[in-house]
Structure 1
Amino acid sequence: YGNLLQEYDLTDIKKFFGKKICCAKNGNFYNPSNNYLENMETIEKIGYDIYAGMNFTAGECTGQTQSFSAVEYHQGSEINIMLTDVVMVLGKRNQIINGFFNAAKDATLFFIPAGTVIEMYGDTLHYSPIKVHQEGFKAVVMVLQGTNQALPNNFCSENTWIVKKNKFQAAHAIRKDKIAKGVIVGVSGELIKLKQI
């Protein structure tokens, strides 16, 4: 699924999140690019080590996710710096059968403690972190530049999983909000939902 990145000093990132970033109270908040984070020495070092000179972005993701209600992947690794305890629900692209990922049957759940940096490989299926504690979750998300940004108006593709630049996503049937916006149903099986501490 990916790799643990253990050699980085997260002191400044933790300090920034402690003072500046609160958990979104409802749903999730994701900022694809935060210039302050991107200019932090540790973020730059991770970017150099993982993306090898390719342009990348780093932004905050916070929220109240309690279930695995959608799935996505990108071309290229995604880095998550967890500032709170979370659970990640992960799978592999080769587990998508006839357009569906049966998360209840095929996914693997990982508890990831606060202060952990993970790299998820490009063929790893994932979605938002799931909160462990009632107050919510906080994380930094690093991706290749352009990822998760809006598609141009003239974009045309027959790949029904494409929802944004370099963002391939499908949802569980419970996500009527996403389906109404054009996201296809592609997560099958019983909804994975966790009870918080």
Structure 2
Amino acid sequence: MKIQNVTDDSFRKYGKVLEGYDFTGLLKEMKHMPVPEDVIYVPSVDELEALDVAKELQNRAYGGLPIQIGYCNGHNKKLNAVEYHRNSEINVAATDLVLLIGEQKDIEDDFTYDTSKIEAFLVPAGTAIEVYATTLHYAPCNVKESGFQCVVVLPKGTNTEINFQLEKTGEDALITAKNKWLIAHEEAGIEGAFNGLKGENITIE
């Protein structure tokens, strides 16, 4: 699969590179976060949210809405699933990483999605991007054997445990956490997920 760069024009439909923020402290703090052999996602980390840039992101990037700052770290080479939220997500790459992304408009009426529509983009270390709400995404893929580290900024409560009941029909069947709609690949074996990805479970070598 061709790996493009988030600075390419082809990324513009999925998101944009963020300028004008100082992420020095955030990237320094990320050096203390674990990088397991699989993938770990932590929605909210006190040490990251205590930094000055957190208030700046809340006010400038999210218009004053309460936010959470966490991370997704580890080792991954596969697509496995796609998810979307009702808002943009901000990622800050603490290491080089590759995002596998698509467009929500390409989800079929039965909520399946053809993985041949997925595109790959390199996010160089130190780069911050806004991933639009209509962009399908999931865990990054690592470029180096040492794994990947990615800061994840979202509205507060996103990706946390559901405390309400829904019928598992239509789009409601995709909800696996608060503000998280997920379509999985059968190969990934994600418990309780809707297996609606059709085609190859894309691998980045």
Do both share a fold (TM > 0.5)? Answer: yes
Which residue of structure 2 lines up, in the alignment, with residue 6 of structure 1? Answer: 19
How big is each residue's C-alpha offset from its partner over 1:101-120, in whole Å with a ceiling of 9 and x where there is no partner?
Answer: 112x2111111100010111
* Secondary structure in 1 matching 2:60: helix
**Distance apart, 1:173 and its partner CA:** 1.3
Which residue of structure 1 lines up, in the alignment, with residue 88 of structure 2? Answer: 77
Deviates more, 1:126-135 or 1:43-52: 43-52
Which residue of structure 1 lines up, in the alignment, with residue 192 of structure 2? Answer: 182
How big is each residue's C-alpha offset from its partner over 1:72-113, in whole Å with a ceiling of 9 and x where there is no partner?
Answer: 00011101111010111111111111311112x211111110
Identity of aligned residues (%): 34
Which residue of structure 2 lines up, in the alignment, with residue 56 of structure 1? Answer: 67
How big is each residue's C-alpha offset from its partner over 1:19-72, in whole Å with a ceiling of 9 and x where there is no partner?
Answer: x113112x1111111112112112221221111011110012101111101000
Structure 2 distance, partners of 1:28, 1:143, is 18
Structure 2 distance, partners of 1:59, 1:46, is 13
* Secondary structure in 2 matching 1:14: helix
Letter in 2 for 1:132: V
Unaligned runs of 5+ in 2: 1-13
> Is residue 91 of structure 1 aligned with residue 91 of structure 2?
no
* Secondary structure in 1 matching 2:196: strand
Q: 2:176 aligns with which of 153, 163, 186?
A: 163
* Secondary structure in 1 matching 2:53: helix
User: Is the 8 Å Cα contact of residues 99 and 141 (structure 2) preserved in structure 1?
Assistant: yes
> Is residue 32 of structure 1 aligned with residue 43 of structure 2?
yes
Deviates more, 1:42-51 or 1:72-81: 42-51
Structure 2 distance, partners of 1:52, 1:41, is 16
Taking structure 2 as the reference length, the TM-score comes to 0.88
Which residue of structure 1 lines up, in the alignment, with residue 58 of structure 2? Answer: 47
Structure 1 distance, partners of 2:57, 2:65, is 12
Structure 2 distance, partners of 1:107, 1:42, is 32
Structure 1 distance, partners of 2:21, 2:65, is 20
Poorly superposed stretches of 4+, deviation over 6 Å: none
Structure 1 distance, partners of 2:102, 2:75, is 21
Taking structure 1 as the reference length, the TM-score comes to 0.91
* Secondary structure in 1 matching 2:160: coil
Which residue of structure 2 lines up, in the alignment, with residue 102 of structure 1? Answer: 114
